[in-house]
Amino acid sequence: MSTNSAAVPIAGVRDLVKIFSIKSDKGGAPLQLHAVNQVGFDIQPAETLGLVGESGSGKSTIGRLLVGLIPPTRGHVELFGESITGNDGGKHLSNVRRRLQFVFQDPYGSLNPRMRVDDCIAEPLDIAGGVSRKERADRILELLEIVGLPRSCGDRYPHEFSGGQRQRIGIARALALRPEFIVCDEPVSALDVSMQAQIVNLLLDLQEKFGLSYLFIAHDLAVVRSIARRVAVMYAGSIVEQGPRSEIYRAPRHPYTQALLDAVPRPDPERQRKPTLGGEIPSILDPLPGCAFAMRCPLVTERCRIERPMPREIDSAHLVACHLA
Amino acid sequence: MSDLLEIDNLTVQFRGDSGWITAVDDVSLNLREGETLGIVGESGSGKSVTALSILRLHAAATTRHPTGRITYAGRDMLALTPRQLRAVRGREIAMIFQDPMSSLNPVLTIADQISETLRLHQGLDAAAARQRAIELLDLVRIPDARRRVDEYPHRLSGGMRQRVMIAIAIACRPRLLIADEPTTALDVTIQAQILDLLRELQSSLGMSVILISHDMGVIAEFAQRVVVMYAGRVVETAPVKDLFRKPVHPYTEGLLAAIPKLDVDVIRLPTIRGSIPDPAQIIQGCRYGPRCPVVLNQCLVEAPALLPAGPSRFARCPPRVAAP
Amino acid sequence: MQLVPRQRYRLLRKLARHRSFRIGFIIISIMVLAALLAPIIAQYDPIAMRIRFRFRPPQAAFPFGTDQFGRDVFSRVVYGTRLSLWIGLATALISGLIGAFLGVLSAQYRKFDALLMRVMDALMAVPAILLAIGLTAALGPHTSSVIIALSVAYIPRTARIVRGSALVTRELEFIEAARVAGASGLRIMLRHLLPNAMGPLLVQSTFVFAYAILAEAALSFLGVGPSPPTPSWGNIISEGRDHSVQAWWIMLFPGIAISLATLGMNLLGDGLRDVLDPRLKVET
C-alpha cells in the first residue's frame, strides 16, 4: 500500500473491525454497532496521515484502537513493526507504549483539574519511572519551552489557562517520553480560529524538529489539508478514499469526498455552492450489504446497493472504494 | 428599507468572581427589514450575549440590567414589562440555538413541543395545533412528518432536531429570527442542508435574520452584512462582499488569514499572536492592541471609536480608517 | 503570553464572602477555642463533687448553675466540648478516609463494586443510630467504641457519595489520557479519582461531624455513650435527665451547645458545597 516498501511503517492497519455491543433501549438482544468496518492504512516515519469524516464515521474509534484504549473485534494492527493484535499483543503494546502518544480533543476535559500543570506534563514520566527529581524538573522546563509556554506555568492549575494554552500543555505531556508517533484526535476543533492556526503550526514545527509521525483525526477538511500530506476519508465506518493530499483535494474521485468538499462553506461570498447532498448519515447499527453511501449518492447504480466496493488503487497510492471510480 | 432593529450603545455586565465583567461593551448595530445580518466573532467576543440581550434572556441574578437602547419595530425592548416581553418572544422574534438536543424537552413529543407555541400565541385548539405542527414539519423538510410528529427528540438525529427547532421558531411567522450558531454542532453535509433551509424559509416568509457564528465560511455564504466582534466590542461592520474582499480592521484581516484553506496548499498558516483575552481582563486602549501586528502607540492609550470606513462600512481602527 | 490572573486563593476568598460559611466558621472556631482553653475558661474542676453547692440555679458564680453533685455546669459544658468535638472529628475522619477509599475502589473496579455496594446497601437499610446503639452495646461504653460505631454507621453514606462522584470523573477525558500514558488502576484512583471527589467528600464529612455530635448525645442518653465522669455534652444531659423538673439548667445548656455545634457544622458544609460544587457556580 505504501510507495516506499523498504521502510517499516510506524503503523500498519489491516482489515480492522470494531463492533460495539450496546444494550437496546427496548430490551432484547444487544445492538451491534459497526463503528469500524474493514479499515486498512499505513503511516510512514515522519509522515502525517489525515483521517477525516463526519460524526459516526468511526475516525475517533480508530485512534483509540491504535493506542490500545479499546481492543479491536477483528483485524491486525502493527506498531513499529510489532503486532499488538496477535497473541503477544498486550506485551508488545506495553513495549511500544513509550513511543506512542495521544493528544485529545477537549483541552478542558483532558487535563485533571486537580493536578498542577507540571504534574500533568510529567505524568507519563512518573508512570514510566526511573527519573530523578532534577531530571524531571529539567524536562518539564524543556517541554514548556518546546510548546511555547512560559517557564513559570508549572505551578499553576489548568483552569488558569485558555483553550489554546491548555492544548499546548496536552502536547507537552504527549512529548514527555520523546515519542515517535502521536495520535491527534481533533486537537484543534474545540479551539477558536485564531488559536487553531497556532496549534497546527506548533504540530508542524514539532514534526520537523523531532521527526514525528502523526495520525491527525479531524472533521474539518481545511485543517487536515494544512497539516497532512496523505488523507483518508471515512464514511460510516469505512475508508472510502485515501491518497496524497494533492489528489484528494484537487481531484477527489469518490462521490462522497466530492460532496463533502463541496459542502464546506468557504470564506468567499461570491462562491456558488453546488446543490447540497441530501439525506443523513446512515445508521451503523446494521449496515446494508452494498456501499454505505448508496442511499445518498447522486451516481448510485444497482450494483452499489448489492455489492460492497473495496478499495482499489486507481493511481499510485490513491485508493478509492467505489465501483464507478 | 427601514430599520427593524436598532441597538445603540449596548453594554451588558455579568457578576464575576471579583466584581462586574463587561461582556458587551458599547455595541451599536442595526438590522433592516428583510435583511440577513451576520455577527461573527470568537469565544468571548460577546456575539451571543448581544443577541440574547435583544430578548432579555440573561439570568437576572447574575446580570446587570443592560444599559443603552434596543429598539425593535419602534419599541424600547429594555423597557418592556415581563408580560409584553413574553408576547414578543416566540411570536415576533424567534430564536434557535446551537444545541438542538438540550433545547428540546426530552419527555415531550415533537407534536407537544410545536403545539405549545401555537396554542400559547395563536390560541389554536389541540387538533388544529397538531395539524399545523405536521404542516410545519413538512415545511422544514422532515420526511414522513405525520409519523415523526409523535416521536420523542432522542429518536431524531442532530440535523432533524435542528429542523424541529426551526419549525418551532417559525410557527408564529416571526418577523425576526435570531440563529445562534445554528449549525455548529452539525456535520458539514447536514450544515449545508440547514443553511439551505434557512435561506429558503427566509425568502418565503420574508423574515429578517441575525446569524451568529464563529465560522467565517458560514457567514460568507449566508449573510448580506457582517458585524465582526472582538472582546465585547464591534470592531468592523461591512457588506459581506466588501468585508471578505478587503477587511479594514487588522483583527478581521488576521482572522481571515488564519483560517485553514481548503482550496490551496499552504505551507504554514499565518497566525494571530497571543491569545483571546479573558473577559475579566481590563485592556487599556484598543482591545486588540496587544495582539495587533500594526499597533501604534496611540492605540494602547485611547480606546478607538467606530468610524466610517467607506460606503456603509465602519471600523474601530483610526489609523487604518484615516490613512487611505 | 498573558495568563488569566492568579486564582490560587479564589476558593478561600469565595468562602470568606459566603455568609453562612462565615457564621458556621465563627461558631466552630469559638468551640474549638473553648475546647483548647478549657482549663483557663472553666473556673471549677468539672469532675470534683461539692455536695454543698448542689442544684444552684444559674447565677454570677455559676453561670449555667450546678448539678446534683454540686459541679459547675458551665465548666462541665466547656470541658464536654473536648469530648464531643473529638468524637465528631474522629468519626468524620475515619468514616471519610475509609468511605473515600471504598468509594473510589468500587468506582474503579466494577466487580468489587457489585459486592461492596450490596454490603453497603444492607448496612444503610439499618438506621445509623440503631446500628451505632447495637455496636456500642457490644463494644462497651468507651469513647473509642462510640467513635468506631458511628464511623461504621456513616461509612456507607460517604462511600456512596465518593463513588458517585468518581463514576462521573471516570468518564472524563483525562482518565483516558492517564490510561494512554500507562497509568495503573491504583494511580488512577489516587491521583485522579480521589482528588476530584474531595469537594463532595469534604461537604459530607462536615455533615458526619454534626451527626456524630448529635448521635453521641443520643447514645449517652440511652446509656451506651462515653461513660461518666469525663463530661461530654451527651452524658451531661443524660445525668441531668432525672432532675429536669427541679434543675432544668443541667439539660438546657449542653443541649444548646449541641444545637450550636450541629448548626455550625451544617453551615460550614453548606458554604463548602456552594463554593465547591461547579454545578451551582455562577455562570460568567
ipTM value: 0.88
Q: Do C282 and B62 touch (CB under 8 A)?
A: yes
Q: Pick from A94, A106, A161: which is nearest to C173 by CB?
A: A106
Distance of alpha carbon C207 from alpha carbon A52, whole angstroms? 51
Does residue A56 carry a pLDDT above 80? yes
CA-wise closest residue to B192 among A194, A59, A271: A271
pLDDT digits (tens, 9 = 90+) for B87-104: 888 889 999 988 877 788
Model confidence pLDDT, tens digit, residues A236-248: 999 999 999 999 9
Give the residue with greater pLDDT, B2 vs C199. Answer: C199
Q: For B16, which residue in chain C has the nearest alpha carbon?
A: C284
Note whether B244 contacts C: Cβ–Cβ < 8 A: no
User: What does pLDDT average to over chain A?
Assistant: 90
Looking at the complex, does the CB of residue C10 fall below 8 Å from at least one CB of chain B? yes
Q: Which residues of B touch A194 (CB under 8 A)?
A: 42, 254-255, 258, 271-272, 275-276
Q: What's residue A276's pLDDT?
A: 84
Quote the cell numbers at residue C284. Answer: 460568567
In tens, the pLDDT along B214-247 reads 999 999 999 999 999 999 999 999 999 999 999 9
Instruction: Give yes or no for residue B5 having a pLDDT over 90.
Output: yes
Q: Has residue A25 got a pLDDT over 80?
A: no
Residues A143-196: tens digit of each pLDDT: 999 999 999 889 888 888 888 999 999 999 999 999 999 999 999 998 998 899
Which of B190, B192, B214 faces A193 most closely, judged by CB atoms?
B214
Contact in structure between B72 and B93 (CB atoms under 8 Å) = yes
Q: Do C180 and A148 touch (CB under 8 A)?
A: no
What pLDDT does residue B166 have? 93
CB atoms within 10 A of CB B154: 10
Residue among A197, A220, A245 minimizing CB distance to B269: A197
Residues of C in contact with A170 (CB under 8 A): 177
**H or E stretch including A233?**
strand A230-235
pLDDT of C4: 45
Q: Which of C1, C2, C10 sits opposite B17 (nearest CB)?
A: C10
- Contact between chains at B265 and A246 (C-beta distance less than 8 A): yes
pLDDT score of C8: 52
Tell me whether residues C176 and A124 touch, CB distance under 8 A.
Answer: no
Q: So what's the pLDDT on residue A35?
A: 93
Looking at domain C62-263, its CATH class is mainly alpha
> What b/e readout covers C222-240, taking b as 16+ CB neighbours within 10 angstroms?
eebbbeeeebbbbbbbbbb
Q: Which of A252, A276, C173, A48 is nearest to B262 (CA)?
A: A252
Beta bridge partners of A241: A233, A320
Give the DSSP letter string of C225-252: SSPSSS--HHHHHHHHGGGTTT-THHHH
Q: Please give the model's pTM, rounded to 2 decimal places.
A: 0.86
Cα–Cα distance measured from residue A289 to residue A304, given in angstroms and rounded to the nearest whole number:
9
- Whether the pLDDT of residue B249 is over 80: the answer is yes
A78 membership: H or E segment, kind and range: strand A74-79
Residue A2 has pLDDT above 70, yes or no: no
Contacts with C61 (C-beta within 8 Å, 6 or more apart), sequence order: none
Interface of B with A in 193-212 (CB under 8 A): 193, 195-196
Taking only the tens place, the pLDDT of each residue in B112-141 is 888 888 888 888 888 899 999 999 999 999
Interface size A-B, in CB pairs within 8 Å, comes to 132
Contact (CB<8Å) A101/C173? no
Task: Return the partners of chain A (3 or more C-beta pairs < 8 Å).
Answer: B, C
Asked whether the beta carbons of residue B62 and residue C13 sit closer than 8 angstroms, the reply is: no
Q: What is the pLDDT of residue C277?
A: 63
Contacts of A55 in chain B (CB under 8 A): 158, 187
Structure confidence at residue C2 (pLDDT): 42
Residues of chain C with pLDDT under 70: 1-9, 277-284
* Calpha distance C118→B268 (Å, rounded): 59
User: Once rounded to an integer, what is the mean pLDDT over residues B242-265?
Assistant: 93
Q: In Å, how far from its chain's centre is CA C65?
A: 29
Contact B240, B213 (CB under 8 A): no
User: Quick one: pLDDT band at residue A38, thresholds 50, 70, 90?
Assistant: very high
Measured distance CA(C254)–CA(C242) in Å, rounded: 15
Query: What is the overall mean pLDDT for chain B?
Result: 90
Kindly report the number of other CB atoms within 10 A of residue C139's CB atom. 15
Candidates C3, C169, C179, C190, partner chain A, best to mutate (most A CBs within 10 A):
C3
Q: How is chain C split into domains, by residue range? A: 62-263
Q: How many angstroms separate the CA atoms of C207 and A172, rounded?
A: 41
Predicted confidence at residue B295, as pLDDT, reads 92
A23 C-beta neighbours (distance < 10 Å), count? 10
> pLDDT tens digits for C105-160?
999 998 888 898 889 888 888 888 888 888 888 888 788 888 999 999 999 999 99
Give the pLDDT score at A6: 55
Q: Burial, B282: exposed, middle or buried (Cβ in 10 Å; 0-12, 13-18, 19+)? A: exposed
Residues of chain B in contact with residue C4, where contact means CB-CB under 8 angstroms, are 278, 280-281
